[in-house]
Amino acid sequence: MEENPKTAHVVMNIKKKSIYTSRDLSDRGFEESAPGSFPFRRGPYKTMYTKRPWTIRQYAGFSTADETNAFYHKALKAGQRGLSVAFDLATHRGYDSDHPRVAGDVGKAGVAIDTVEDMKLLFDGIPLDKVSVSMTMNGAVLPVMACYIIAAEEQGVKPDQLTGTIQNDILKEFMVRNTYIYPPEPSMRIVSDIMAFAHDKMPRFNSISVSGYHMQEAGATPLQELAFTIADGLAYLEAARAAGIHVDDVAPRVSFFFAIGIDFLTEVAKLRAARELWAMLVKERFSPDNEKSLMLRMHCQTSGWSLTAQDPLNNVVRTTIEALAGVFGGTQSLHTNSYNEALSLPTDAAARIARNTQLILQNETGLCQTIDPLAGSYAIESMTTDMVSGAMDMIREVDKMGGMVRAIEQGMPQRRIQQSAASRQAAIDSGDEVIVGMNAYRSDDAPERDVFDVDNKKVLEQQISKLDHIRSRRDPGTVKRALAAVMEEARGDHPAGSLLERMVDAARARATVGEMSAVLEQVWGRHRAGQSTVTSAYRKSYKKRAEFMELVDEVEAFARREGRRPRMLVVKLGQDGHDRGARIVASAFADIGFDVDLGPLFLTPAEAARQAVENDVHVVGVSTLAGAHKTLIPALIEELKKEGAGDIAVVAGGVIPEKDGEWLKKKGVLEIFGPGTGIPAAARSVLQCISVGGKGNTDR
């Protein structure tokens, strides 16, 4: 069947037909199954939502622990049933708030947690034996988990009473999200260590949540997200087996985390296929005795990438459609994004609408009265089967490479996801993919946008003050001995020991997250990944369109006039590892004809300025998503001046509220490219910047 050219890119690899019939099922050997029975296509439980609806679990965390705690109390009072913690980037990367590399990141994209005292404040007044807690933490998972256990202990709650999930999914960090700390091999040791500890002492707590969400947010197609996520899950079971843990002791507590994009039918099929794939592959490879080892349970979150800064109220509709897909797909818990998250952290009003979206679905629509209501649909069942088949092909390819760890080391999933991201962005910029209110059907009205801002300097001062207070009151000798025990464990001096157990002792002594992380870094080092880009996605998408080729000609004219091509350094500053935008910009500008350098992740402003000078660039393009732009970008401009390179132009793109954009321009940023800016338009603007006042006019 012929695809609609305006939507073909959305499913990518799984082609939708314009009509499905009963033959699509009979020809594929479709066999009907029941909810709660192998292979669990229709859901992991027999009764699903008819007895208990999905858990409303809003992801939240910002500024300080006390501010986030106040938000949690309001959310629980408003009907939320579980808490989901977003940590700031300093915490993710294992730095204390007073570390010089994280000055712009503290409290900006999540809550700052430096010690047990922060964790206690985060859950003050919240009974941890009754409220389920999900924590999105991977890099600094050991010290954060230790702080949580001690915070509960000092609340009178034992580890075996705790319920919830720790993400503990390091493989996807090496693929897309980049909040890793240590190299892959010791990082996998951490994963299995936590699984073993949880099995022994936290039987009600999920020790790992295998996440595909960040893959789709980084540009993966739904099929890629499905295949690579299941492959990651299998790799973790293999790691557990290698550590001597039986599959039935870990698999029943493994959960999964998927993104829900805007392609409704594809996302429903993906979730149903995930359960079937997991059941079949775990049965085949691990031969469990407990049927619960075959049951894939999942949390889902609506897409953040699909949210637009233009006409942001349209995002309420997008989020509702995505939430419906999660429900029809049979998720066990759900987070709905707030409509203004393309602009800033959610405001209270936006967060309330997001939460109420789920409450309306649960209480007003009748959706909880029928299990898997789309079952038997010719389209849904056929697409589910196609998803299973397509993902199986990708998983076999990973197997041939030696498994997911080897595939990641060779860069295969990273390259595939980058190519998909670049191709999709090119389709949006060229108009082949319609985004209502952004590249089509735009409104001339520009309503006032309410944004939430965190005072980074205030949070930083508060966290440093708390750290100073705790360090002055604790017993230095006890801390030193506890950290030495962590180091011994990391070195392997006690083969049967537990890293998390030693971390719990250190947290009890009031060692900080940064101190505990630094001990492991001394033993294992800090991982540094290489940067690469894909090519030709933009040229293929535009296919000799006049406006694109005119831009290419302008770049060629610049090169003839100046004796070299316009040169751009694309950077991320601070600890923000979400590099989809930076990679796409680098790839697209290179396709247009720029010489492009893609800087390594986690640069300080001084390091970025030094690289700009060494590479003799005309312009530095800063990609920013985590809210640290008001601190880090002015610092970059000052560092360029110190290097005697004040003539290097600075432009910025990403999640930058309009008022912040105007402020940044006063500080010396030449152009601001907000969400939804077409890359060809941005490239022309950058070319004009460096032709009019930057190095394009200097004789070098």
DSSP per position, 502-545 = HHHHHHHTT--HHHHHHHHHHHH-----------SHHHHHHTT-
As a whole number of angstroms, the longest Cα–Cα distance in the chain is: 74
Residue spans of alpha helices (H) in 87-212? 89-92, 116-122, 141-153, 171-172, 184-201
- In whole angstroms, what is the distance from residue 380 CA to residue 692 CA? 55
Q: Are 36 and 371 in contact (CB under 8 A)?
A: no
- 622, containing H or E segment: strand 619-624
Q: Go through the chain and tell me how many residues it has.
A: 700
Catalytic residues, which ones? 59, 213-214, 572, 576, 578
* Residue 67: count of CB within 10 angstroms of its CB: 17
Asked if 674 and 309 touch (Cβ cutoff 8 Å), the reply is: yes
Residues 269, 372: contact at Cβ < 8 Å?
no
The pair of three-digit structure tokens given for residue 454, joined into one six-digit string: 């965190």
Cβ-contact 262, 302 below 8 angstroms: no
Q: How many CA atoms lie within 13 A of 138 on its CB side?
A: 25
Phi-psi map region of 259: left, alpha, beta (phi>0 left; psi -120 to 50 alpha): beta
Nearest to 179 by CA among 628, 577, 601: 577
Q: Which of 471, 600, 458 shows the shortest CA–CA distance to 96?
A: 471
d(CA 210, CA 212) in angstroms, rounded, equals 7
The continuous run of DSSP H or E covering 408 comes out as helix 404-409
Q: How many other CB atoms are found less than 10 A from the CB of residue 531?
A: 15
Enumerate residues 6+ apart whose C-beta is below 8 A from 496: none
Token pair of 652 as six digits: 């910025």
Query: What's the first-to-final CA gap in the chain, in angstroms?
Result: 57
Helices 499-508 & 476-491 angle (0-180, nearest 10)? 170
* Helix %, strand %, coil % of the chain (to 5): 50, 10, 35
Q: Token pair for residue 562?
A: 């100046």
Q: Determine the Cα–Cα distance for residues 339 and 450; give it in Å rounded to an integer.
A: 11
| Cβ neighbours for 609, distance < 8 A, ≥ 6 positions apart | 620, 636, 639, 640, 642, 643, 645
Distance CA 606, CA 75 (A): 41
Please report where in the chains the tokens 């049965």 appear, as a residue: 283
**Nearest one of 669, 556, 554, 674 to 619, comparing CA atoms:** 669
Residues 523 and 490: beta-carbon distance below 8 Å: yes
Coil, strand or helix: which one is 376?
coil
Tokens of 338: 């707030």
